[in-house]
Copies of this chain bind each other. A is one copy, B any other.
């Protein structure tokens, strides 16, 4: 589940290892570039923390964030 806090959507993804985590990140990168909407995200080993927010809209959660979140969820 994505949580909404600090004007952002947030979700933590855990994987088996770094390889699985970075394979996921590469696919999120493809989505982000395709949608022209990019996350702020942090990775440590098997964990990826994604934060979505629309800077052009004054740092709020918009449809762009919800669409990217849904596309990411559809992938895992």
Contact = CB atoms under 8 A, between A and B. Distances in A.
A33 B46 CA distance: 12
A58 interface: no
A75 B29 CA distance: 17
30 contacts: A18-B30, A18-B32, A18-B33, A18-B38, A19-B27, A19-B30, A19-B31, A19-B33, A20-B27, A22-B26, A22-B30, A23-B24, A23-B27, A26-B26, A26-B29, A30-B30, A30-B33, A31-B33, A33-B33, A33-B34, A34-B34, A34-B36, A38-B45, A39-B44, A40-B43, A40-B44, A41-B42, A41-B43, A42-B42, A42-B43
**Chain A interface residue number, banded:** 20 to 34
A41 B31 CA distance: 20
